Structure 1
Amino acid sequence: MRGLLFPLLWLLSACTLTLEVVYPGHRITGLKTQGTYCASANTRVDFRFSLEGRLDRLEFFWIPEGLSPSQARPEERYTLWGPIYSGEVRGFVEVTPSGGIRAVSLASPSGAALRPQGVTVEPLPERRLWLRGHTGGLAGPYVRAANPVIPDSSPYCDPGWYP
């Protein structure tokens, strides 16, 4: 018996087994934001998008119009940790009059709010929100909001968005 075991072990050691684990992907579509934010007070810039799949984390980029997310400074990036599940996702990015981000909050499709967190960026007048989802450690594509967000300097600024 021992004589058969050694050649069998030698043959098995020459074999290689490769396992490939594939995480289900995700897709973010229809990212939209309100069109303005107040130039004289903090504003919650509302956004919404459709999510297919599940996200482990979601990156936000609040960058000047015309730049790509890869050009964002560290202060202009923010990551919200999930999980975030499929459905229509709504939330807001709280911005200052100078264009800084004070907080990010979103409601999951089930309606449960995730914890808000914040970061500050330097002022620039016209910005666009970009997102990028991650699932299983794999980054998805950058998703650009359909519209830029511009400052409103009117004395009675109320950029509430009621889509």
Structure 2
Amino acid sequence: MRRLWVLLAAPVLAIMLTAAEPPAAPDRPLSDPTQEARAQALFKDVRCVVCQHEAIADSPAGVAGDMRRLIREEIASGASDQAVRDDLVRRFGDYVLFTPPVRVGTWLLWFGPFALVLSAAAVLMLRARRRPAEAAPLSPDEERRLDEVLQNEKLRRDPDASSPHDGR
């Protein structure tokens, strides 16, 4: 029985070990301090595609290390910062930038929150401006019947009601 468990667990363990991401290669800064400063500035503007909430400057993921190496290579080859950004967007999409460009595909991302706030404010203003509906006055017959009901209520005592002086 024990051998059966080992035989079943071995492939699962092997898959888990091979699925682990290899550690990122150590970063090698550029020899030119100006180029390295440009690369570091770009690292802070580019989102890690694995972590999704971290810049590649802070991400320990292997993909972030590859992206840092790619940016350094492009800067060393003479590419401008905008050309590097354009290449990253071409490879990974607008999501890779923390501040995506304003274009038709990203309008909802840029202007959606404003539109939502404005529409909520418009709804609140319309509701506040709406006057409560006034009740139609009672007819003389309805007023007479209401007076009768109120008079009977004063005389009739509710059997379930209790007074604080009842001693219960």
TM more than 0.5: no
- Specify the TM-score bucket, using the shorter chain as the normaliser: under 0.3
Structure with bigger strand share is 1
Q: Which has the larger radius of gyration?
A: 2
Q: TM-score, normalised by structure 1?
A: 0.22
